[in-house]
């Protein structure tokens, strides 16, 4: 299930005035978001123009929130 925060960020990114060619690459964003949320990598290397940086930031933020919640419940 795609989270509300992700949908908001995706809409925000997409609404910016990208060319059609740039918009065609947006089909991969949900996969990138899910991978970051699932695998929780310690490092992410952004290669390219950086259009997906906001999306990655949203996923990282959610991972950090979960980490804080887990630490709170465990501690």
pLDDT digits (tens, 9 = 90+) for 21-71: 555 566 677 788 888 889 988 888 877 666 677 778 888 888 888 876 555
Supply the pLDDT for residue 1. Answer: 47
- Kindly report whether the global pTM for this prediction surpasses the value 0.85: no
Range of the domain at 44: 4-74
What's the rounded Cα separation, in Å, for the pair 43 and 25?
22
Total structural domains in the chain? 1
Supply the pLDDT for residue 32. Answer: 82
Is the Cα torsion angle 2, 4, 56, 26 positive or negative in sign? positive
**Distance between the two ends of the chain, CA-based, in angstroms?**
29
Supply the pLDDT for residue 47. Answer: 74
Question: Per residue in 8-20, pLDDT tens?
Answer: 776 666 666 555 5
What's the rounded Cα separation, in Å, for the pair 39 and 17?
31
What's the rounded Cα separation, in Å, for the pair 9 and 6?
5
């Amino acid at each position: 299930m795609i989270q509300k925060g992700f949908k908001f960020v995706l809409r925000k990114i997409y609404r910016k005035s990208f060319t059609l060619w740039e918009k065609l690459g947006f089909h991969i964003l949900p996969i990138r978001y899910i991978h970051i949320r699932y695998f929780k990598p310690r490092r992410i290397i952004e290669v390219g123009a950086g259009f997906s940086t906001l999306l990655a930031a949203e996923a990282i933020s959610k991972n950090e929130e979960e980490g804080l919640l887990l630490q709170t419940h465990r501690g």
